[in-house]
Amino acid sequence: MSWEKSSEERVRVIPCSTLKPLYEQHAEEYNEAALRALRSGWYIMGKELEAFEKEFASYIGVSHCIGLNSGLDALVLALRALGIGPGDEVIVQANTYIATVLAITENGATPVFVEPDSYYGIDPQSVEKVITPRTKAIMAVHLYGQPCDMEPLCEISGRRGIPIIEDCAQSHGATLKGSMTGTFGLIGCFSFYPTKNLGAFGDAGAVVTEDPILAEKLLTLRNYGSRIKYQNEIEGINSRLDEIQAALLRVRLKYLEEILKERKKIAEFYLNSISSPLVRLPSIRPGALHTWHQFVIECDRRDELQEFLKNRGIQTQIHYPIPPHLSNAYKQLGFGKGDFPITERMAECVLSLPLYNGMKTEDTKRVVDALNTFPSCLE
């Protein structure tokens, strides 16, 4: 058990996230799935992967799923499958995690940043303003578990002939007007990193698509550019979802709706109970089903609030403190403070509260009580 001393007493620390309860809830099934894969004697590109790809494609509502090594590889290969490279531009929201941008630059293309809307998704009006003849794709990031505003984005895509790649790393099971994220664009990219709502027990990812030609190309790209052993048709990479992770994901997928239901219950308690005037609660886009990968509040005194909560045994995280355009990794792009003020303001005031499956009611109440006493403690 983890403990941390507050100003008044020693209290049990509430983690921002923990994974063990989800394993323990169905431990026997996870153990059996792993052993089944081990006992098969076939550990790469076997029956478990094939089964998971079919099951996940069915869950999302698409024809093709290609299992990969990670969510980053999903984004990298999605762009590569579309032939995007040096001289091309890809529009992406500035408030995303850097992996989205890394996928663009890994292919030699140039990221063109735009501001998010008030729901943290890419702003379609901003997208329209930066399209050039070099624009080859739009990357929509469904951040924190909430879908972007896809209807106007799809209209732009259709009218301008620019494909949409969806970054669904945080939006497994999220819907907009009944349609799953990953089904709006030409390609949907998923991460199954352990902290995701549909998390593996190591790195894992996948792409989904309705396009059979793209699916075939992605299958080739993930396996050294080969569909037949030792016959390499194109330059590919090694990015394959292994049998053990596929087997474990099949178990997790069985319980995904149950997982999302529990997270929604915690989020609704926060939404209905947090009353601090210094805290701005997240909004839900009309017609959207938010899956609460993160519960992100805003506070103009964020750093003070984070320290206040830490002193009371409540861990929080900042998703994300440095926008990609201000990171040292992309200093060569020449951006500076003030270039994307909405994104930069978010980076200075967002804070993710504890939210995980297996979280106790008493802990959610502790978080709320601490937040609601925050204003008075500063007076």
62-97: pLDDT as tens digits: 999 999 999 999 999 999 999 999 999 999 999 999
pLDDT of residue 299: 97
Residue 153's CB: how many other CB atoms inside 10 A? 23
pLDDT of residue 107: 98
pLDDT of residue 1: 37
What does pTM read for this prediction? 0.95
The region, left, alpha or beta by phi > 0 then psi within -120 to 50, assigned to residue 135 is beta
Q: Where are the domains of the chain?
A: 3-17+256-377, 23-254
Half-sphere exposure of 38 (CA within 13 A, CB side): 7
* Separation of CA 173 from chain center: 11
Six token digits for residue 125: 């009006």
* Integer-rounded Cα radius of gyration of the chain: 21
pLDDT of residue 378: 54
pLDDT of residue 375: 74
CATH classification number, 23-254, choose in 1.10.10.60, 3.40.640.10, 3.50.80.10, 3.90.920.20: 3.40.640.10
Residue range 161-204, pLDDT digits in tens: 999 999 999 999 999 999 999 999 999 999 999 999 999 999 99
pLDDT of residue 3: 40
Report the sign of the C-alpha dihedral through residues 323, 343, 177, 166, in that order: negative
Specify the CATH superfamily of domain 3-17+256-377. Aspartate Aminotransferase, domain 1 (3.90.1150.10)
pLDDT lower than 70: segments of the chain: 1-10, 376-379
Q: In a 3-state reduction of DSSP, which class is residue 97?
A: coil
Task: Find, among 3, 124, 7, 2, the residue nearest to 370 by Cα.
Answer: 7
Q: How far apart are CA 2 and CA 51, in angstroms?
A: 39
Q: How far apart are CA 224 and CA 137, in angstroms?
A: 24
